[in-house]
Chains A and B, each alone.
Chain A
Amino acid sequence: MEKSGSIDSLGSKRSSSRQPSVDSLSSASTSRSDRSAQAKPPSAMSSDSVATSTELSPELRVRKPACHVLRDSSKEEPQLLPNEIVQDMAKDVTYICPFIGPLRGTLTVTNYRLFFNCIDRDPAFVLDLPLGVVSRVEKIGGASSRGDVSYGLVCKDMRNLRFAHKQMDDTLRKSIFEVLMKFAFPVSNGLQIFSFEYGQVFPENGWKVYDALTEYKRQGIPNESWRITKVNDHYELCDTYPSTLVVPVNIPDEELKRVAAFRAKGRIPVLSWIHPESQATVTRCSQPMVGVNGKRSKEDEKYLQAIMDANAQSHKLFIFDARPSVNAAANKMKGGGYESEDAYQNAELVFLDIHNIHVMRESLRKLKDVVYPNIEESHWLSNLESTHWLEHIKLILAGALRIADKVESGKTSVVVHCSDGWDRTAQLTSLAMLMLDGYYRTIRGFEVLLEKEWLSFGHRFQLRIGHGDKNHTDADRSPVFIQFIDCVWQMTRQFPAAFEFNEYFLVTILDHLYSCLFGTFLCNSEQQRVKEEIPKKTVSLWSYINSQLEEFTNPLYVNYSNHVLFPVVSLRHLELWVGYYIRWNPRMRPQEPVHQRYKELLAKRAELQKRVEELQREVTNRSASSSSERAGSPTRSITPVQTFV
C-alpha cells in the first residue's frame, strides 16, 4: 500500500519536549477518556504517549491494580501473554518519535509484539505494538556518520515508526530488526500466527456468539416464503458462502445449483435480512455472468422473481449494483456484468457508484499522508477533500441509505451485489441492516452482524489485511472493513444514543483486526476457518470483549426499538474519525465530556439517594420520638433514568 511510503516523513519535524504522562492518555489507543484509571482496559496497542507497560493481556486488568502500573513500567521487559516468548532484546536503540524526538531505550521483540521502553524519562516512555500491525520493515540508507543503522516500520494502523541503533561490531550477529521481520511476517517465514499459540481463557466464549440458525430464527425464518437450505453444507455449491443459507421456498436445491452456475463464484442471491412487518428482504449475491453476449439464465430470472414474490407488498424488485456503471459494464468483458432490465421483469437496476478496492487503498494512503505524523497546517479541508476518503464514506453510506429506504419506506425487496459480493456488498448489506434493525446496534447484535455478513459470507480478511504476510504491495490488500467501521462510527456520531457500544469498541475491533491475537479475523471464508479449526485453536475477539462489556458500553444508550435510523450522508455531517486516524497525535486531546458528565451524575445521584434515605430514616426516628411535627414532605419518588421511546 505504501509505494511512496512516507519513510522520509518518519523523521521528526518538531522538536518539542513533550513528556507523556500517565494522566494525559490512557494506555489504550483510543480516544476514550472516561475510563477510570483503575479500569484501564488492555488494548493490544498502546500509544506513543503511554507510560505503562503492564496492561497487555486482556485479563490483567482484573489482577493488576493501577498502583502497580508505574513501578512495573520501569521494568525492561513487557508483561508477557501466555505462550509469548521473548525472541530478542537490544539496548541503546533509539526510537525517533515524531512528536517527542529521539528516545533511547531498550527494544524487545517477542513472537507477538514489539516493545520499546525508555526509562530515562519521567514518566517512562513505552511503545508497545503487536507485530501484526507491521506492514513493512525497511532498512533506511546505509550507516550514518555516527555509525547508526536506521529502520522504518510502516504500520497498518496509520503510523510509521522509525528506529536507529549502532552498527553491529559483530557482523555475524543479526540485527534485532531482522528478528523482528521474521516474527512480524510469520506466514512468509513458515511460522505460526500468534493467535494459534495464545491460550488465554476468558469467562465468555466468543465463538458461541453467532449461530446462523438462531439468528435466522430471530428474524422469523423459516417462514412460508423462505426456507433454510443445507445444500451448501459441505461448501460444494459455493466455497466462499456459509453452510447455512436462506432461499425462497419454491426454489428446490437442484435449481439453486443452476442459479449458482450463472452467478460469479457461485454466490447466489440469499437472504440477509427480512423486514418483520412488510416481509421485504435484503438479499445479497455476486454479479450475474452475463458476458459480452448478454447471456441469460432462466433459473436466475425465475429465482429473482421468486424473491420478489416472497414479498406481497410490492410488485417490484430493486437490484442495487454497488459499482459505478462503467465498471459494471467493463466486467462484461470478463464474463460478468449486470442484470438487464429486459431479462428481469419488474426489476429496477440502480448503480451505487462505489469504487473498487484499489481506489479505496489509494485513498487511505493519501489520508495517512495528510494526518501522519503531523496535520498539514494550511488548507486542511482541501487536503482532506483531495484524499476523497470521506467522499467514499459518503457513497457507501448513501448506498446503504437507499437500500434501507427502499426496504423500509418502499416495502420493496432488494438484491445487492457488486462483482463478487464480498466487499462492497458486505458494506452495504451490513450498514443497511444496522439502519433497519436495532438489534444490530447492541454489542452482541453487532458481533452477530460481523460474524454473519462479513465473516460467514466470505469477506476475505486474510487477503485484504495480509495477516503475517510480508508482501505489502499485494494488490488484494484494501481497507474495505475499516471503511465499514468508519461508516458505523459516522452513524454513532449522528445518533449518539442509538448504539449500545461506544467508540472504544469500534477502535478495539480495528486494533485486533491487525493484532493477530484473536482468531476472529483470520482466513478468508467459513470453509477455511472450519478447515483450520480456528474456533478450536484460537480465541475469539468476542470472548475478550464480552468478558468486560462495561468497557465497551455506551452509557447513554437508549433502545430505539423499532426505529429505523436514516443518517444524513451529506459531507456537511461527515467528519474525519480523529479518534482513530489521528489518535497517535498527542495534540488531539481525546474527549468524551458527555459520557463523563453522565457517569459523574449517575454516581452523584446514587450518593444523594443514599443520603436522602439515611436522612429520611433519621427524620422518621426523630419524629417518632418527638411527634410535635410531622416529618417533611413526602419524598418524590425518584424515577430511574428515563428512556425515551
Chain B
Amino acid sequence: MLSLGSGGGKSAKPSFVSYVTPEEINSEKDTPKEEKHPDLLPGEVVFCSASTVLKLTQDELSQRGTFGTLLCTNFRVSFISDEETGEETAPLFKNKLYGENDIPLSCVDNIYGGYEDKRKLVTGSQVKNKYPSKIIIHCKDLRVFQFALTFCKEEDAKRIFQGIVHHCLEPKSLKNIFAFSFCENTAFPGMLGNVCFTKLVHNMQQRTMMFDSAEDWAQDLKRTKGSCRLVTENANFGLSPNLPQYFIVPESVSEADMTLFQGKGLPIWCWSHHSGCALFKTSNLPLQQEDNVPQSYMEKMLTAVAHNYLYSVKTEDLSDTLPTVQDIQLSYSKFKQFFFIDSTTDFWVSDMKWFSSLDNCGWLDIIRSCLQKAMEVVECLEKENNNVLIMEDGGSDLCCVISSLAQLMLDSYYRTLQGFQSLVQKEWVAGGHNFLDRCNQLHLKDKENVSPVFLLFLECVWQLLQQYGPAFQFSETYLTVLSDSIHVPVFSTFLFNSQHHRASILRADSSHSQRGTLNCPTVWDWSVQFDCKAQQLFINPLYAEKPKLDKSMRRPHRPKHQRQLSLPSATFKTPPKKGFFKDETDSLKKILRVKRISRWMLSPDSPQPSSTSREFYEAWQRKPLDYHGLLLPCLDGPAVRIWMQRYLRWIQEVQIFGGGLVTVLSKVSDLLDEVQELQRQLDRHSSSLTSNHQRPRPRPISAETDSRLSVLLSSSFPFTTLKNNWSYKPAIPTGLLQSLMNSGNLADTEDDDQESLVRA
C-alpha cells in the first residue's frame, strides 16, 4: 500500500532465493533428478524423500523460494537445495549434527497443512490419501519452515507428507529415538568434549560433575561444608527406584525412613549455606492415607531437617504457591505462538498489541514468580539462617527450578560454566526431573505430562544473566544453545525420567548389543555439536573473574535483627489445595511449638509477603554489588524481559543489522584477547627470568577472534549472519494507522501548532 516494495535499491538478497517463476521450473522438471542425500550421521537412515520441493522464503505471500529435495530420516527432516552455491564458507556457528535446513524430529513442534488459503493443524491420524499443497513446520527452536509440494510428483508428495507426519507426530518407543542407533554406531570418548574449555577452568572443579558417583556428592557436600549423610545404599536402586543412585539426607534419617514411602517425603539435601543451614527438597507424601503414619513420618523428617542446624526449619509447598506444570505448559504454548511469524503482515499486526499480548499469556509472570520464590528461599537461608525444605507433589519439577535458582543466587561456583553444568546434573538429571515425559520426546498424544519446566529454569537463569552479566562465565548464546539441545535426540541428558529409568533402559539395551553398555553422549559433550571456535561463543566476555586472594566473599552476613518471618506465598494465583496438608501442618505446628521451634511457616497473620522480600532485596541492593557474592534479581516490571536472542533470532523484521549487543561484546572480547596475550608474554618472560615457576594465570578465551566480528553482524548473531554486505532493506511497518485510533479526543482536536498560534 505504501509503494515501498520496489525501491529497495541494494537490498541484500539471500543467496538461495530463486527468481524463476514456479511455472518455468515446473516445465523443465519432468526428468527426475538424482536423489540427494545429506551427509548422514552414523546410524541415520533415510525413510523417504521427494524432489522438486519448493522451500518458501519467510513471507508466505511471495511464492519465492528454492527448489530442492525434502527428506525424512530417523533423525531429521532435511531439505537439500538444488542450487548448491559455490561459496561454501563454513559459517562460524555451525552445528555438526544438523544444518540450517534440517529439523531434528523431536524439534518439530507443530505441522500445518496448507490448502489453498487455509491451513490446518495436522494431528497425525487424519492423513491417509490426501496431502496439502504446503507443509508448514513450526520448530521448538522457533524456526518456521514452509515447503510447497505443488511441483513434485503426487506419489512423492504423498509419501513425504505422510512420512514426515508419521515420524514427527506418531508416538514411538524410546528405543526408536535416534540416540540409540547413533550411539551404537559411534564411539564417544566420554567427557572429552570440554577440551575446548580446559584453559579457562582453574582452581575450581576441572570438570562437570555428573553426580552419578558417590564421590561427586561427597565433593559437593564437602565444598559447601555441609554436615549431612551421604547415602550410597541405593547404588543399585535397592532402596527405591524413585530415589537417585546417590543422595544426601539429614544426619538423623535412618535407612528405614528412606524406604517407608518409596522415597516420598524424604528430605533430600540440595545445598548447604556457610552458616550451617541447608536447603532440602522432597516430594509430598501420598494424600490418600488415612492413618497417621505419614503424619508422624513427616514430623520425624521435619525434625531431622531441623536438627541440621540450630533446630529451625521452614517448609514451603511449591504446589501451593507456584503455577502447576500444566499452567506452565499452557502459558508457554501461548507465549511461543508470538514468535512463529508466517508473514510480514502478521508481524506488524501483532506488533501493535505486543506488550499486552505478552502480558496476557502470563509467561513473564511465571518467570517472575519462580525468581521471587527462589529469592524467598534465599532469604531464609542467607538472612535467617534457617533450614529450608521445599516440597511439591512430584518433587522433581518446581523443586528443581527453585533449588537450582536459589543455588545460583547464593553460590558463585554455579555461575561458572562447569559449575552450572554440574548444577543441572545435580538438581535435574540426578534429581530425577522427568525429561522424557516433560519434553515429550516420544510424541505421546496424551500431553498431560508435557511441560517446559527446564526451559522455564533456563529463562530464569537468562533473567539473572541479563541483569548481572559480569557474574556469569557462560553467555546468552550458551543458554540458547542449551535450550535448543533439549530437542536434539542424541543426548542422554534429556532422554530419561530418572537415573533408575536410564539405568534400566541402558542395561536392557546393552544386553542386546555386543559392545557393552551404550555410551550416549551427554549434552555437555559440546564437541558433538560444535567445534572449539564456535564453543568460544559460550563464554561471556563480561565475566568478572573472581579475585584470587579474596576468600572473604563467603563471610556470613549477620542480619542486625531477626524478624518473625514466614515464607510468604507468591503473588501468582494460588490454586486451592485439598485440606489435608494444611491440617497436618496445623497439628504439626502444635507439636513443634512444644519442641521449642521458635519460628514456623504459614501463620495466617503473617506480614505482607512481598513487602518482606522487598526489604530483603532493598537491603541487599544498598550494599555494593559483588558479582561473586549473593545475587538477587530485580523483579520490577521493566527488569523482567524477553529472551530476545532465543525468541527473535529467526525473525527477519527484528534483526538489527550492524547493531545489537554483539557489536560491543566483540570489542570487549578482542580486548580481552589482547590482555591475555600480554599476560602470556609476561608469564613467559618472568619464567625465563626466574627459575621458580610462576603459574600462568589462566583466563577465558584464547582463540583469535579476528574475522568474526565486525560491524556487519546483526543482533541475531551468531544464529544468523549477514551474508552479503551492509546494505539491506529496513523493515518498515505497515498498517500503523489503526493502532492509535483509541487515543481519545485529544487526537481529534485541531492540530497543535494552529492552536498555539492563537496564543502567540
Contact between chains at B732 and A398 (CB < 8 Å)? yes
Min CB–CB distance A282 → chain B (angstroms): 16
Contact between chains at A576 and B638 (CB < 8 Å)? yes
- Complex Cα distance, B657 from A584, in Å, reads 33
Contact between chains at A496 and B659 (CB < 8 Å)? yes
Selected contact of A355 from candidates B356, B728, B743, CB within 8 Å: B743
Does B541 sit at the interface, judged by CB under 8 A?
Answer: yes
Known interface pairs A356-B749, A597-B541; A494-B355 also in contact (CB < 8 Å): no
Does B353 sit at the interface, judged by CB under 8 A?
Answer: yes
- Complex Cα distance, B754 from A419, in Å, reads 8
Residue total for B at the interface (Cβ-Cβ under 8 A): 110
- Complex Cα distance, B2 from A625, in Å, reads 79
User: Which A254-291 residues sit within 8 Å CB-CB of chain B?
Assistant: 264-265
Does B667 sit at the interface, judged by CB under 8 A?
Answer: yes
Contact between chains at A593 and B736 (CB < 8 Å)? no
Known interface pairs A409-B7, A608-B678; A568-B731 also in contact (CB < 8 Å): yes
Stretch at the interface among A80-88, A357-365, A530-538: A357-365
Known interface pairs A381-B637, A586-B621; A570-B733 also in contact (CB < 8 Å): yes
Stretch at the interface among B101-109, B144-152, B682-690: B682-690
Residues of A with C-beta under 8 A to B670: 641-642
- Complex Cα distance, B626 from A417, in Å, reads 52
Contact between chains at A355 and B732 (CB < 8 Å)? no
Give B754's nearest chain A residue, CB to CB: A334
Contact between chains at B751 and A327 (CB < 8 Å)? yes
Residues of A with C-beta under 8 A to B638: 375, 380, 575-576, 578, 582, 588
Residues of A with C-beta under 8 A to B240: none
Count of A-B contacts with CB under 8 A?
325
Known interface pairs A558-B663, A598-B671; A644-B359 also in contact (CB < 8 Å): no
Contact between chains at B752 and A612 (CB < 8 Å)? no
Does A330 sit at the interface, judged by CB under 8 A?
Answer: yes
Min CB–CB distance B616 → chain A (angstroms): 10
Give B10's nearest chain A residue, CB to CB: A409
Selected contact of A358 from candidates B685, B712, B746, CB within 8 Å: B746
Give the secondary structure class of B's interface. Answer: helix
Give A350's nearest chain B residue, CB to CB: B2
Min CB–CB distance B741 → chain A (angstroms): 9
Does B760 sit at the interface, judged by CB under 8 A?
Answer: yes
Give B734's nearest chain A residue, CB to CB: A398
Does A191 sit at the interface, judged by CB under 8 A?
Answer: no
What 0/1 readout, one digit per residue, does chain A (600-619) give for beta carbons within 8 Å of chain B?
11101100110110011011
Residues of B with C-beta under 8 A to A330: 748, 750-751
Residues of A with C-beta under 8 A to B752: 356-358, 419, 423, 478
- Complex Cα distance, B686 from A629, in Å, reads 15
Contact between chains at A593 and B469 (CB < 8 Å)? yes
Does B648 sit at the interface, judged by CB under 8 A?
Answer: yes
Residue total for A at the interface (Cβ-Cβ under 8 A): 127
Contact between chains at A381 and B740 (CB < 8 Å)? no
Selected contact of A376 from candidates B610, B637, B709, B755, CB within 8 Å: B637
Known interface pairs A494-B715, A587-B617, A612-B678; A641-B667 also in contact (CB < 8 Å): yes
Residues of B with C-beta under 8 A to A17: 615
Does A225 sit at the interface, judged by CB under 8 A?
Answer: no
Selected contact of B664 from candidates A556, A589, A618, CB within 8 Å: A556
Known interface pairs A14-B614, A587-B621, A598-B667; A394-B733 also in contact (CB < 8 Å): yes
Contact between chains at B677 and A382 (CB < 8 Å)? no
Give the secondary structure class of A's interface. Answer: loop
Contact between chains at B756 and A586 (CB < 8 Å)? no
Does B675 sit at the interface, judged by CB under 8 A?
Answer: yes
Contact between chains at A573 and B654 (CB < 8 Å)? yes
Contact between chains at B636 and A587 (CB < 8 Å)? yes
What 0/1 readout, one digit per residue, does chain B (345-383) give for beta carbons within 8 Å of chain A?
001100111111011100010000000000000000000
Contact between chains at A558 and B711 (CB < 8 Å)? yes
Contact between chains at A463 and B756 (CB < 8 Å)? yes
Selected contact of B732 from candidates A357, A402, A593, CB within 8 Å: A402
Does A216 sit at the interface, judged by CB under 8 A?
Answer: no
- Complex Cα distance, B682 from A378, in Å, reads 54
- Complex Cα distance, B756 from A463, in Å, reads 9
Seen from chain A, the residues whose Cβ lies within 8 Å of a Cβ on chain B are 14, 16-21, 23-24, 264-265, 323-324, 326-327, 330-331, 334, 336, 348, 350, 353, 355-359, 362, 375-385, 388, 390-392, 394-395, 398, 401-402, 404-406, 408-412, 418-420, 422-423, 460, 463, 475-476, 478, 494-498, 524, 556, 558, 560, 563-573, 575-576, 578, 582, 585-589, 591, 593-594, 596-598, 600-602, 604-605, 608-609, 611-612, 615-616, 618-619, 622, 629, 631-633, 635-636, 638-639, 641-642, 644-645
30 interchain pairs (CB within 8 A)? A16-B618, A21-B622, A334-B750, A336-B754, A358-B749, A362-B743, A362-B744, A377-B637, A382-B359, A402-B4, A408-B9, A412-B7, A419-B754, A476-B756, A524-B760, A563-B658, A570-B347, A572-B351, A572-B354, A572-B654, A573-B654, A587-B634, A588-B639, A597-B470, A608-B675, A608-B679, A633-B684, A638-B674, A638-B678, A644-B711
